[in-house]
Amino acid sequence: MKNKNVNAILDFVRFTDIDELKVVRKDGGYCLEVTLLGETDTHFVKSIATLKLPMDIKHSSLTSGCRDSLSFLQKEQPTMMMNLGFGYLEVEDGKFDLEIVGDKRKDMTLSEIEEKLGYKIKLVSEK
């Protein structure tokens, strides 16, 4: 099930693993397609985002120092950013697809629940 309106769900997703990374050429530049696996309280999810890589091979050079981010910070339109551990990257077109790939609920017997918990329980009715 694909969900195009994911902003409400994204706040509750805990990403647990990177499933796939792929570098693609797009519009004369480079992007990183990232497939992340995660979970909410009720579902397992897979999310795919295309991140613009801040490099232009035609104008690349080796320098020491930091990239000037003032013009980047003064953009008029807000952008969606993702940090994968090496800095924030702009999500292409602000698009972040999220797909529910499984349900965490399980059918379990009382003895299976007790075995998982490691102790006996007494079931009572909700009031």
What is 43-98 written as a DSSP string? EEEEEEEEEE-S--GGG----SS----HHHHT-SS---EEESSS-EEEBGGG--EE
**14-41 pLDDT tens trace:** 889 999 999 998 887 888 999 999 998 8
Indicate whether 38 belongs to any domain.
Answer: yes
Indicate whether 17 belongs to any domain.
Answer: yes
Whether the pLDDT of residue 54 is over 90: the answer is: no
pTM: 0.51
Indicate whether 48 belongs to any domain.
Answer: yes
Whether the pLDDT of residue 117 is over 90: the answer is: yes
| Higher pLDDT among residues 58 and 29, named by residue | 29
Indicate whether 125 belongs to any domain.
Answer: no
* Number of domains the chain contains: 1
Tokens of 103: 């349900």
CB 107 within 8 A of CB 16: no
Indicate whether 13 belongs to any domain.
Answer: yes
Instruction: Give the residue among 120, 98, 121, 123 at the shortest CA–CA distance from 46.
Output: 98
CB 104 within 8 A of CB 42: yes
Q: Which domain holds residue 40?
A: 2-56+64-117
Enumerate the β-bridge partners of residue 34. 21, 49
CB 24 within 8 A of CB 30: yes
The reported pLDDT for the residue numbered 58 is: 60
CA separation for the pair 25, 66 (Å, rounded): 25
Where residue 90 falls among pLDDT bands split at 50, 70, 90?
confident
| Higher pLDDT among residues 50 and 55, named by residue | 50
Where residue 60 falls among pLDDT bands split at 50, 70, 90?
very low
**96-113 pLDDT tens trace:** 777 888 888 889 999 999
Indicate whether 24 belongs to any domain.
Answer: yes
The reported pLDDT for the residue numbered 118 is: 95
Q: Radius of gyration over alpha carbons of the chain, in Å?
A: 21
CB atoms within 10 A of CB 19: 13
Indicate whether 126 belongs to any domain.
Answer: no
Indicate whether 124 belongs to any domain.
Answer: no
